[in-house]
Amino acid sequence: MVDVDGSGSMPLGSVSSALDGGLPMTARQEQFSLAFMHMVAAAAGCSIRVI
């Protein structure tokens, strides 16, 4: 949840961490890479089996 201070504005640090779920940069990069590979495989008509 993002807190709003008394002046009605939201602190930017809380907003940026709330938008990405608070994941560290390396975890975000890993998730992006996985999503990209799934997209490429789907466009090629393939699927990726997760074991």
pLDDT, tens digit (0-9, with 9 covering 90-100), for 14-51: 555 556 678 788 999 999 999 999 999 999 999 888 77
Q: Residue 6: what pLDDT?
A: 59
Task: Look up the pTM and report it.
Answer: 0.52
Distance CA 5, CA 32 (A): 32
Q: Which stretch of DSSP H or E encloses residue 30?
A: helix 25-43
Distance CA 33, CA 11 (A): 29
